[in-house]
């Protein structure tokens, strides 16, 4: 069966983002769009048609990760079961931060911030800031529903995310592998969720 145009575009988008994550992570933010295009199996013009600049490409990578992370917060099931939604959010956050290879692009954005401030800003806005905003929106909805009591949702979002990743983020940015396996991720996600819900219980 032939794919529709929208399906083809989506497939190319994913191929470009996967290629960019690999190439930029391996070769640095100065890697050329040609390298990314070759890795994705598309033309350089196609990359530019989808993403007009490297900053936009990095923004899209961060947005995809944030979407995966916050998806459990935006379902009806997640809104009705905040404990499970927060555990799922924490799991994805921990897996993302503890993966030194995929998180390498964040480290590169930090290192290159003085010379590529547009890329660093795009990474921050589409990554950490966007995820905290969505988490804050979730806490605001839960507060209105009477399941939580978060008078300052954004502050609560910062507290929860900070409690989940602790010093892990710093270690990963420095290239230090703390050896987070699935058992440890599961334990921390559960513990952080339980303690947060106890502190912000209605």
pLDDT at 114: 93
Closest CA to 148 of 94, 78, 91: 78
| pTM, two decimal places | 0.85
Are 42 and 104 contacting, i.e. CB atoms less than 8 angstroms apart? no
Is the predicted pLDDT of residue 6 greater than 60, yes or no? no
Q: What is the pLDDT of residues 52-88, one digit of tens each?
A: 888 999 999 989 989 988 998 988 888 889 999 999 9
Own/partner contacts of 40-43, CB < 8 Å, gap of 24 or more, are: 40/12, 40/15, 40/16, 41/15, 42/12, 42/15, 42/16
Q: Yes or no: say if 61 and 105 are a contact pair by the CB < 8 Å rule.
A: yes
Structural contact between residues 189 and 90, judged by C-beta atoms closer than 8 angstroms: yes
pLDDT on residue 8 = 45
Q: Where are the domains of the chain?
A: 1-52, 61-199
Q: Which fold has domain 61-199?
A: Tetracycline Repressor; domain 2 (1.10.357)
Q: What is the pLDDT of residues 165-175, one digit of tens each?
A: 998 988 888 88
CATH number of 1-52: 1.10.10.60
Q: In this predicted model, which residue has the larger pLDDT, 200 or 98?
A: 200
Q: What angle do CA 174, 126, 119 make, to 5 degrees?
A: 65
Rounded to whole angstroms, how far apart are CA atoms 52 and 130?
21
Phi-psi region of 120 (alpha: psi -120 to 50; beta: other; left: phi over 0): alpha
């Amino acid at each position: 069966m032939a794919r529709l145009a929208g399906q083809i575009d989506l497939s190319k988008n994913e191929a470009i983002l996967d290629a960019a994550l690999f190439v930029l992570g391996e070769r640095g933010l100065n890697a050329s769009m040609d390298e990314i295009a070759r890795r994705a199996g598309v033309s350089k013009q196609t990359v530019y048609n989808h993403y007009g600049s490297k900053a936009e490409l990095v923004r899209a990578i961060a947005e995809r990760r944030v979407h995966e992370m916050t998806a459990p917060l935006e379902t009806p099931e997640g809104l009705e079961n905040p404990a499970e939604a927060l555990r799922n959010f924490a799991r994805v956050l921990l897996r993302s931060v503890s993966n030194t290879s995929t998180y390498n692009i964040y480290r590169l954005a930090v290192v290159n911030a003085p010379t590529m401030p547009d890329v660093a800003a795009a990474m921050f806005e589409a990554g950490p800031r966007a995820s905290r905003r969505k988490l804050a929106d979730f806490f605001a909805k839960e507060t209105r529903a009477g399941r939580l009591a978060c008078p300052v949702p954004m502050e609560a979002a910062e507290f929860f995310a900070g409690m989940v990743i602790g010093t892990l983020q710093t270690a990963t940015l420095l290239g230090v592998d703390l050896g987070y396996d699935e058992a440890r991720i599961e334990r921390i996600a559960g513990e952080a969720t339980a303690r947060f819900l106890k502190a912000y219980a209605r």
